[in-house]
Amino acid sequence: MSPQEAAFAKRIGATLARARLEVEMTQEQVSESLGVNTESISRWERGYTCAPLYRVFELAALYGVTPETLIAGGAGRSLDPANDISALIGGLSHDDKEFVREWVAAMCIRLKKQAERKG
């Protein structure tokens, strides 16, 4: 396994373990649900091996998250920044959401102008 593959396996493994703990399942329960041995679950979570892609989809369904969340790893972030932002502002009041929307719009305009100047 290359260093990049090893780092990827560790990141996904940590995400798998965190997702399992969030749904309060044991490795044994997951292994029974998937029909694999507990050692496989342990190896995936420790990043010693990567779970096959079809297993990542099964794990995502079991944990109630998207496969992208498991693959992206880290803090439950998705691959789509819009989904991340939506999740972050979901619990805000209407006025606070509007404030964030206006601030993001202003920042996007500012960053676009900076990029055009550098251009």
- pLDDT digit string, tens, across residues 49-89: 999 999 999 999 999 888 888 887 644 445 456 766 777 78
66 & 8 share domain: yes
The confidence score (pLDDT) of residue 76 equals 47
Percent share of the chain, pLDDT over 70: 90
Tokens of 115: 């990029």
Residue 49, CA distances (Å) to 30, 32, 38, 56 in order: 17, 19, 13, 12
12 & 51 share domain: yes
47 & 94 share domain: no
Residue 10, CA distances (Å) to 7, 51, 68, 80, 112 in order: 5, 11, 16, 22, 36
91 & 56 share domain: no
Q: Please indicate, yes or no, whether the overall pTM of this predicted structure exceeds 0.75.
A: no
66 & 11 share domain: yes
The confidence score (pLDDT) of residue 79 equals 47
What's the total number of domains in the chain? Answer: 2
What is the domain range of residue 13?
Answer: 3-72
